[in-house]
């Protein structure tokens, strides 16, 4: 744990804002590729998928913060809020590309949500993330109180798996990558829930 202590001391000198800056770089790159023909013959679909997958990856990283601290002693908690917001940003862009560039018709939105189960699940995950993004600030913590704020943000334990299920259902056939993402999320949740139960029993 001495190595972890040194890493934590170094991390305390790093502000959270670089996470936002670095986190936005792939989005700019994806849109640039889409605008310059770098995303293949179906650029809108490719852009949707890249944004959604990046969002899921960042949300998984935010979910891994507490298990990582418990297992290795490395404390990234101060960056977790930034990771969550960056992940939400990508999911919101994923949704915006679907709504504005793909469907191009508000009349089709509700029809697709009701008709296609994978869209229903994906939209449910996004709606669960929305209040978390809106309350990811110090003012919201003061207004809600720490206990209610933490309870509200446990919605992430449902929203992120829904995103992975959306990915699994979207993939054609039983592909390994979507299932691996879902398995990783369920594993991290199991570690997180085990930690909550241990603290409650202590």
Largest CA distance in the chain: 59
The answer to whether 85 touches 136, Cβ cutoff 8 Å, is yes
pLDDT of residue 134 exceeding 60: yes
Instruction: Give the Cα separation of 82 and 99 in Å (integer).
Output: 25
**pLDDT digits over 158-191, tens only?**
999 999 999 999 887 778 999 999 999 999 999 8
At a CB cut-off of 8 Å and minimum separation 6, what does 141 contact? 135, 149
pTM of the predicted structure, to 2 decimals: 0.92
**pLDDT digits over 65-93, tens only?**
988 998 888 999 999 999 999 999 999 99
Give percent helix, percent strand, percent coil of the chain, each to the nearest 5. Answer: 85, 0, 15
pLDDT of residue 201 exceeding 80: no
At a CB cut-off of 8 Å and minimum separation 6, what does 51 contact? 27, 30, 90, 91, 93, 94, 97
pLDDT of residue 148 exceeding 80: yes
**Both structure tokens of 175:** 């592909």
pLDDT in the model for residue 202: 45
pLDDT in the model for residue 184: 95
Q: How many domains does the chain have?
A: 1
pLDDT in the model for residue 1: 60
Q: What is the mean pLDDT of the chain?
A: 90
The answer to whether 23 touches 54, Cβ cutoff 8 Å, is no
Q: Is the dihedral of CA 23, 29, 34, 40 positive or negative?
A: negative
Instruction: Give the Cα separation of 201 and 195 in Å (integer).
Output: 10
pLDDT in the model for residue 71: 86
Confidence band, pLDDT 50/70/90 cuts, at residue 199: low
**Both structure tokens of 33:** 């590729």
Average pLDDT score over residue span 126-141: 94
pLDDT in the model for residue 114: 81
Comparing 104 with 72, the larger pLDDT belongs to: 72
**Structural domain boundaries enclosing 8:** 2-201
């Amino acid at each position: 744990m001495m190595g972890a202590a040194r890493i934590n001391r170094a991390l305390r000198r790093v502000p959270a804002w670089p996470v936002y800056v670095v986190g936005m770089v792939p989005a700019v790159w994806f849109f640039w590729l889409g605008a310059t023909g770098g995303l293949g013959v179906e650029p809108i679909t490719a852009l949707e998928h890249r944004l959604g997958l990046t969002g899921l990856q960042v949300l998984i990283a935010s979910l891994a913060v507490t298990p990582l601290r418990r297992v290795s002693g490395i404390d990234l908690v101060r960056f977790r809020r930034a990771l969550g917001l960056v992940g939400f940003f990508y999911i919101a862009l994923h949704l915006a590309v679907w709504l504005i560039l793909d469907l191009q018709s508000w009349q089709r939105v509700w029809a697709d949500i009701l008709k296609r189960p994978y869209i229903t699940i994906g939209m449910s995950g996004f709606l669960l993330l929305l209040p978390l993004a809106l309350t990811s600030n110090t003012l919201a913590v003061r207004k809600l109180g720490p206990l209610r704020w933490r309870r509200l943000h446990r919605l992430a334990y449902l929203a992120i798996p829904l995103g992975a299920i959306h990915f699994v259902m979207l993939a054609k056939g039983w592909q390994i990558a979507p299932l691996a993402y879902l398995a990783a999320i369920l594993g991290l949740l199991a570690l997180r829930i085990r930690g909550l139960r241990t603290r409650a029993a202590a």
